[in-house]
Amino acid sequence: MQIGPHATPLSRIAQAHPDRVEVRGRDLCGELMGRLSFTEYFYLLLTGREPTTEQRYFLDLLLVAIAEHGMMPTNVAARMTLAADPGSLQGAVAAGILGCGPVLLGTAAECASLLDDAAQRSYRTGEAPASVALVVAEAIHASGAKLPGFGHPVHKPLDPRAERILELADERGVSGRHIELARCLREAVAKVWGKPVTMNVSMPIAALLLDLGFASATVKTIPILARTAGLLAHLIEEQQQPIGFLMAARAEEAIDYERPGEHGA
């Protein structure tokens, strides 16, 4: 019995032959190796097309921007996994990537969905981006939810990565309606929340990718690819200078144990 929708048994990505490897209709050795950078190759794998100059430039930019951010939970989880199983580099990478959810890294995908919906509403109704952004902010605030792409525990009042992305998008003339909506959301958030809130890097990432023609569904792939590089750096350092068990010891020191019945428990 088949579970789920009917699927056509085919893939359009690659096929290995005895004398060659074909990727997206191109000969890997004859057409791609030595010509494409890894960023360009990733775009080809993802979309089936080679990137434009601006798509390649900004994809490179975003991968650099978010590959590394210090001792984030993803990196800590990876280091502690490697400490527990030193031979499982791949398992430690996987442990870190599993943390790419709606709080860390996966936020860009939520931003893309929000911006996509807002842009479609603006196009459909003729409402100005500022008006749509205000409606979105008010609805999310009224529900008690958090607006994806806003707030940061370290970067205040501005996230320097976010500002640099916006600056370069303007400078190179690729800012479109999604970046305009992101900026309108920043103003709407300040108005609705009654104070400025940091626009973190996830919102410009999503806005820029959408303006460059990336499908909303592909946005989450970029933070995952970028952070994989950072994880590998942390894990090689963990092999050379282990701190995984030190972090575990610090956690034991920082967290108190409470016996049943104490403090009314």
Binning pLDDT at 50, 70 and 90, where does residue 111 land? very high
Instruction: State what percent of residues in the chain have pLDDT above 70.
Output: 98
> Can you tell me whether residue 162 is helix, strand or coil?
helix
Judged against a pLDDT cut of 80, whether residue 263 lies above it is answered with no
Residue scoring higher pLDDT (260 or 1): 260
Domain boundaries, the chain: 12-51, 107-218
CATH number for the domain whose boundaries are 107-218: 1.10.230.10
- Per-residue pLDDT tens for 29-58? 999 999 999 999 999 999 999 999 999 999
Q: What does pLDDT average to over the chain?
A: 93
pLDDT at 152: 85
Its pTM stands at: 0.90
Judged against a pLDDT cut of 80, whether residue 6 lies above it is answered with no
pLDDT at 265: 55
* Other beta carbons less than 10 A from residue 157's beta carbon: 10
Q: Tell me which DSSP letter residue 21 carries.
A: E
pLDDT at 1: 64
pLDDT at 155: 87
Judged against a pLDDT cut of 70, whether residue 264 lies above it is answered with no
Burial 109-129 (b: 16+ CB within 10 A, else e): bbbbebbbebbebbeeeeeeb
pLDDT at 253: 92
**Which run of H or of E encompasses 26?**
strand 26-27
Binning pLDDT at 50, 70 and 90, where does residue 3 land? confident
Q: Which of 98-102, 132-136, 218-222, 260-264 has the lowest mean pLDDT?
A: 260-264
Mean pLDDT, residues 158-177: 97
Judged against a pLDDT cut of 80, whether residue 102 lies above it is answered with no
CA distance 157 to 193: 15
By CB atoms closer than 10 A (0-12, 13-18, 19+), residue 82 is buried
Mean pLDDT, residues 159-177: 97
Nearest to 69 by CA among 153, 163, 164: 153
CA distance 231 to 74: 8
